[in-house]
């Protein structure tokens, strides 16, 4: 934290209607069915508001298989204990490790104010550690039956306040929630 300001951490993610962010092999093909250029669903506007991204190694490896680097020069912090492969030209990527609260503290101390948290295990760990402020979940109208869940088992309830829900022409349903922070 810088002074009394706490970094804002947000998850922006697409899921199948049955709650999976990827197929068991990590494939994301089902998301493309309805999230193409034909109907923007707020990602570009959201991405413009974040200072940096934090993702797990599996998500990073998936992103590295894309045809092009999707994050421009925005800093990307990969949570991993293993060395990273060669980084695309122009990309800003750094490896970090540590508990979610340590990662948030380190990045806040470096002046980042709005963090985009991505990747199944990373989202789950940050949520369990109380380090997620906002969830924006876009449900794609498809059932895939199995895969990598957005939310795994939780040790305790995670209360949420509903902010808004939008329904898109293509059938996407996007809901935004604020995570209710425990006091005391």
pLDDT, tens digit (0-9, with 9 covering 90-100), for 98-123: 999 999 999 999 999 999 999 989 99
Condensed to tens digits (0 to 9), the pLDDT of residues 68-88 reads 999 999 999 999 999 999 898
- What letter would DSSP give residue 152? -
CA–CA gap between residue 143 and residue 177 (Å, rounded): 23
Domains along the chain with CATH numbers: 8-179 (3.40.430.10)
The β-bridge relationship of strands 20-22 and 148-149 is antiparallel
pTM: 0.90
CA–CA gap between residue 36 and residue 22 (Å, rounded): 17
pLDDT at 3: 43
Confidence band of 134 (pLDDT split at 50, 70, 90): very high
């Amino acid at each position: 934290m810088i002074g009394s300001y706490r970094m804002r951490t947000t998850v922006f993610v697409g899921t199948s209607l049955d709650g999976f962010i990827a197929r068991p092999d990590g494939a994301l093909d089902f998301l493309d069915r309805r999230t193409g250029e034909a109907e923007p669903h707020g990602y570009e506007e959201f991405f413009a508001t974040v200072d940096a991204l934090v993702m797990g190694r599996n998500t990073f490896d998936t992103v590295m298989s894309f045809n092009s680097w999707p994050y421009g020069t925005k800093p990307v912090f990969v949570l991993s204990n293993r060395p990273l492969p060669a980084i695309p030209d122009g990309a800003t990527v750094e490896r970090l490790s540590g508990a979610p609260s340590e990662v948030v503290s380190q990045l806040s101390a470096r002046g980042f104010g709005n963090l985009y948290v991505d990747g199944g295990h990373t989202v789950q760990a940050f949520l369990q550690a109380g380090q997620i402020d906002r969830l924006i979940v876009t449900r794609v109208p498809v059932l895939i039956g199995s895969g990598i869940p957005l939310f795994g088992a939780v040790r305790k309830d995670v209360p949420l306040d509903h902010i808004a829900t939008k329904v898109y022409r293509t059938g996407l349903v996007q809901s935004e929630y604020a995570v209710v922070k425990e006091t005391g």
